[in-house]
Amino acid sequence: MSGCGCNQESSCEDTKQKQNESKTDSCKIKDLATEESKSSCCDNEVQQEPTPDEKDSCGSKQSNSCCGPDTINLPEQVRGNESIVAFISDYSIPKMDCSTEEQMVRMTLSPLVDVKSLVFDLPNRNLKVLHNGESNEITAKLEALGFGAKLNKTEVYENKEHAQEASTFLIPKMDCSAEEQMVRMALSPLHEVKGLSFDLAQRQLVVFHTNGINEITTKLEALGFGAKLVETVKATGELPETPDPTKQAKVLKLLLAINGILFLLNS
């Protein structure tokens, strides 16, 4: 019993000291973890970009943010931003001659945020793309389809003759390039028509025009394709395409000749 008093007191003091040291070390580790957490949030070496609809600790303006005032918020890309310079790229696509291939091109380019509008000319195997920024990614996507896509030119898009209205027509019997060409020829003499945008897969046509919707509707109905006006809205900068009647007549004659030969071979 004589040794218990001194040894017990000494043991208690040692235990207290160890507890204090353990507490101090624990706090240091906690502070270090906090600093590392803050570093991982704010340092450039470890970045987690926030989605446009979410706020994280780096992008938030809350006072509890772990980041300091020097944190730079990344700009958000907005599809169809009018302040960005628009370009128009012209492509020749030799193996794109039916609505199925047109639809494949649409599906390929639709995910690209820089693509604003597409104008197809199947009889001439041509595609015009209105877009922001470079055309490299667009070209790569088209080449990957294996349709022989080739970029002819890219230039700054200037809509010098802007259409006032855009009328959408549903044309049930328009589902091939020959019928598309007949529609082009029917509307090309009208000075009010500033551009045409075809979607053969959906049997739809958008006509960009200044006025004269009644005459446009009459011309389309006279073709016997069941054309029906769906709506007319104010034009909002979509890509118009000016019809070329001379070129269209040549293409239509060629298509009719090919169809005639195929008919004779099958009969």
- Residues 178-201 have a mean pLDDT of 88
Q: Which domain holds residue 242?
A: 161-267
**Residue 226: what pLDDT?**
96
Tally of structural domains, the chain: 2
Give residue 189's Cα distance to chain centre.
33
For the entire predicted model, the pTM comes to: 0.45
Q: Is there a domain that residue 175 lies in?
A: yes
- 168 with 148, same domain: the answer is no
**Residue 163: what pLDDT?**
64
- 183 with 254, same domain: the answer is yes
Q: Is there a domain that residue 72 lies in?
A: no
- Residues 6-24 have a mean pLDDT of 49
| pLDDT bucket at 190, cuts 50 / 70 / 90 | confident
**Residue 36: what pLDDT?**
44
Supply the CATH number for residue 94's domain.
Answer: 3.30.70.100
Q: Is there a domain that residue 179 lies in?
A: yes
- 167 with 152, same domain: the answer is no
- Residues 211-228 have a mean pLDDT of 93
- In the predicted structure, residue 254 carries a pLDDT above the cut 70: no
- In the predicted structure, residue 152 carries a pLDDT above the cut 90: yes
Q: Is there a domain that residue 27 lies in?
A: no
- In the predicted structure, residue 52 carries a pLDDT above the cut 90: no
Q: What does the longest C-alpha to C-alpha distance in the chain come to?
A: 125
Q: Which residues contact 162 (CB under 8 A, 6 or more apart)?
A: 194, 235, 237, 240
**Residue 75: what pLDDT?**
26
Question: Which comes out higher in pLDDT, residue 51 or 157?
Answer: 157
- In the predicted structure, residue 146 carries a pLDDT above the cut 80: yes
